[in-house]
Every structure is written in C-alpha cells, then in structure tokens.
C-alpha cells in the first residue's frame, strides 16, 4: 500500500467487531483509533456462548416459527420473550422479522449468508496467526446440538437441508457417538447434530482483548470516549465528535453494535436495529464435570458453553430494547434443566449477565459503505453471530476502505436493503 492511500480511521465501538476491523485496518498501514467508553469486549462481546458457528447460515425467522410464536410468548420457559412495554417500538421490526421467515426469503437469506459464515473460521485463523494470538484461545472441536427426542430432532430437517445445500459439513450422531464426544452429558440424549468444523473460544472476552492488544502493539490507539456524532466535510468525514471536540479522521467505521442506529440516522440512513437481548449464568466448574465443546440443548434452546471460569449457560431472546433493566428470572429457571443435562454441574451461580445482540430483522449484518457519505463505513448488526463474523467483517471493511473489490459480495449486507 502506498503512503497516499493510507487514512486516519476512527472506529466507533470496541466490541469484537470493532476491534477486528481496527486490527485489520491498522495492519494494512492505516492510523487507527478506536473510540469506546468501555474497555474492549466488555459489552455484548463479553458474555456470548463463544461459538464460531460456521453452521449458522439460516435466518432466525423460519417458516415454522410463525406457528410456534404464540405458545412461546406464553411459556415462561420458552427461549423467546417480549417486554410488552417495548412492543409498540418493536412491532415494525417484528413484522419484518416474521416476513424474513417466509420460504422464499428464508432460502435467499441462507444463500446470502452462506459465503460470509463460510469464511468465518478461516478468517479468525488467519487473523490469529498473523498477529501471533495464542492459538489455545480457540478450540477446534466443533459444536453440537443435542436432542432428547427424535421428534424434536426432526424439526432440524430444514437446517440440515440448508447445510447440505451449501456444503457445510455436519454429522448426525446416535446416542453412543454423542457419548464418545461428550461423556459428561446426561444419558437420555438420543441424537445430536454435530458441526465439526466450528470453533469455540475458551473465554469470549479473552479473544477480543488479545486482538485489542495486537492492535495496540502495532501502534493503534484506544480512546475511552463515546462518539456523539461524525463531523462531515465536503469530501467525507473530518472527524468524530467526543465531549464536544472534533478528533480528526478521514474515514469512520461505525461498529457500535446495538447502539449503531442513532449514528447511522445522523448520517442519513434510517435502519431498524433491534436489541435481541440474551442472558447467561455462570456456574463454576465442579469435580467430575466434563464438557469438551459447546452443546446447544435442542429441547430447551439453551447452550452449555465450557469457559475458563465455569460452564456458561446462555439462552433466550428477549425483545426488550436498550433501556429496560435485565430480568434474570428466565435464565435462572434454566439452572435445574442445565443440571439435568450435565449431571454434577454445581448449584451456585457466580455471575448473571445480559447483553444486547444487535439485530436486523433479516438476520444479516450491515457491512458496507454509507450510501450518502464517502468515507463512512458500517460494520454492525451481527445479531447472534458477532463473534463468528468479526474477523471476516474486519477483512471486508479493510478491503472497502482500500477501495478494493470485496472478497465476498457485500451487496446483500448494504444498509439500505429494506
């Protein structure tokens, strides 16, 4: 890269997505500053299930969901809940979300997500190798969806068909095969869907921190300020405004997760971004508990994720916006179920956590340039897949800022697609 094609880049947001963008850009020769009042990875990126989910190519809205939703909203154990006070604001997003599950949209979105998700594992591998990030932070053990009934497993037929159509490797395991991989699981699981090429992190925030350390090691700056707005000149950004001051930048990457919509709106792009709130509880390891990889328990739609500090039980999608306080009752109710799935798991919870998945209704992120302002680029809305897609998003954003043809077509992820 020549000196004239480098830029002063401001990255808004130090979640896993912003940090991956910043690291890739800094390594490409730009002068990059991340702005975030929080330390790297402390928001939504802190508490996820840690899966680099190369099998998650289908949208979260599906043809079956329509029928299931009314019962789910009434069931206190279901993985879906709605904070009714937030309903009037969320209603248009919910309508778009349901439409995304119609068979034609489902197929199209799957087709559009497959190349992005398919590049995710390799992109992390490349980024980690390039910056000598400790390879032990990511396990290459794949992940499982385990089922207690063949009937429930049958509901994955559309997902399995989509995986097969897009050449994502998977195996259907019987009870014995599952036991060989996960001897610590309860004996009443009868089958599982195994995605062997996925990865998982040993602690979600540790990978973001490692990428942030590499970024700073290359001379990248992290400033603990919230960006109020982006200052524009005739040729694009002049800088970002924090505490009333303009801090110079000629390129801006908006990667503020679930908080990105107001910044996009200031820049002329109205985007419906919902916070799909999700929870975890952490149960410290106890002797004899064995969990080698993340296991999604199909019947309960919760995940048992092995982390350094314990078994993280993640679950739930709560449509509740950014401002309402967390309601931990539902995730707490999962503990006895988790203990039945993983015998020997302790009874004490040492952390309760909630995060805001930044979600567009069609389950696709926004990755691409602003249609209104040259030099502004968006990288947000990764929903359930921000960890998975962070490294590949960083690569795409770096290509866009360099004026190169993106290595994956980005038209499906443009901000004005609705």
Ligand X SMILES: Cc1cc2nc3c(=O)[nH]c(=O)nc-3n(C[C@H](O)[C@H](O)[C@H](O)COP(=O)(O)OP(=O)(O)OC[C@H]3O[C@@H](n4cnc5c(N)ncnc54)[C@H](O)[C@@H]3O)c2cc1C
- Contact positions toward ligand X, by CB under 6 A? 12-18, 35-38, 43-45, 47-51, 53, 226-227, 255-259, 278-280, 314, 355, 357-358, 380, 382-388
Tell me how far, at minimum, the Cβ of 279 lies from ligand X, in Å: 6
**Smallest distance, ligand X to C-beta of residue 320, A:** 12
CA gap 293, 291 in Å, rounded: 6
3-class secondary-structure state, position 117: helix
Give the span between the Cα atoms of 288 and 56, in whole angstroms: 31
Q: Cα separation of 302 and 261, whole Å?
A: 28
**Per DSSP, which regions of 18-98 are E strands?**
31-35, 51-52, 80-82
Q: 131 or 384: whose CB is closer to ligand X?
A: 384
When the beta carbons of 113 and 255 are compared against ligand X, the nearer one is 255
Backbone angles phi, psi at 195, to 5 degrees: -110, 95
What is the nearest approach in angstroms of ligand X to the Cβ of residue 49? 3
∠ Cα 384 228 97 (to 5°): 30
CB of 288: closest distance to ligand X in angstroms?
25
Residue 375 or 386 with smaller CB distance to ligand X: 386
Which is closer to ligand X, CB of 102 or CB of 123? 123
- What is the nearest approach in angstroms of ligand X to the Cβ of residue 120? 8
Q: How far is the CB of 416 from ligand X (least distance, A)?
A: 20
Q: Which is nearer to ligand X, 187 or 241 (CB)?
A: 241
Minimum CB distance to ligand X smaller for 55 or for 355:
355
**237 three-state secondary structure:** strand
Side by side, the strands of the sheet bearing 229-233 are 229-233, 236-242, 245-248
Helix spans in 28-174 (H): 65-74, 87-99, 103-118, 120-130, 150-154, 157-165
Tell me if 24 sits within 8 A of 395, measured CB to CB. Answer: yes
Which residue matches tokens 């679950």?
A: 315
């Amino acid at each position: 890269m020549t000196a004239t094609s480098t830029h002063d880049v401001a990255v808004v947001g130090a979640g896993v997505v912003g940090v991956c963008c910043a690291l890739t850009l800094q390594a490409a020769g730009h002068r990059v500053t991340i702005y975030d009042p929080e330390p790297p990875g402390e928001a939504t990126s802190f508490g996820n299930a840690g899966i680099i989910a190369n099998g998650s190519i289908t949208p979260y809205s599906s043809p079956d969901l329509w029928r299931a939703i009314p019962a789910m909203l009434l069931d206190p154990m279901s993985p879906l809940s709605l904070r009714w006070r937030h309903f009037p604001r969320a209603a248009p997003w919910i309508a778009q979300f349901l439409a995304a599950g119609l068979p034609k949209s489902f197929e199209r979105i799957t087709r559009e997500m497959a190349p992005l998700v398919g590049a995710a594992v390799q992109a992390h591998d490349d980024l980690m190798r390039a910056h000598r990030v400790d390879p032990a932070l990511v396990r290459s053990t794949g992940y499982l969806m385990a089922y207690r009934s063949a009937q429930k497993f049958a509901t994955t037929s559309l997902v399995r068909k989509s995986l097969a159509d897009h050449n994502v490797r998977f195996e259907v395991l019987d009870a014995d095969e599952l036991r060989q991989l996960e001897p610590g699981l309860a004996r009443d699981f009868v089958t599982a869907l195994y995605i062997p090429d996925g990865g998982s992190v040993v602690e979600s925030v540790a990978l973001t921190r490692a990428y942030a350390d590499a970024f700073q090691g290359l001379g990248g700056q992290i400033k603990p300020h919230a960006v109020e707005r982006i200052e524009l000149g005739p040729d694009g950004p002049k800088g970002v405004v924090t505490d009333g001051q303009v801090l110079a930048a000629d390129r801006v990457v908006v990667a503020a997760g679930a908080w990105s919509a107001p910044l996009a709106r200031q820049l002329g792009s109205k985007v419906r971004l919902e916070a799909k709130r999700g929870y975890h509880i952490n149960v410290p390891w106890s002797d004899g508990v064995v969990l080698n990889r993340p296991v999604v328990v199909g019947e309960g739609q919760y995940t048992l994720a092995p982390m350094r500090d314990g078994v993280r039980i993640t679950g739930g999608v709560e449509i509740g916006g950014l401002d309402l306080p967390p309601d931990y009752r539902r995730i707490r109710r999962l503990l006895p179920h988790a203990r039945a799935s993983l015998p020997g798991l302790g009874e004490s919870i040492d952390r309760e956590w909630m995060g805001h998945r930044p979600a567009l209704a069609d389950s696709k992120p926004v990755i691409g340039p602003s249609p209104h302002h040259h030099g502004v680029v968006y990288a947000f809305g990764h929903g359930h897949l921000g960890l998975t897609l962070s490294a590949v998003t960083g690569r795409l954003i770096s290509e866009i800022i360099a004026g190169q043809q993106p290595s994956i077509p980005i038209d499906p992820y443009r901000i004005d697609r609705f």
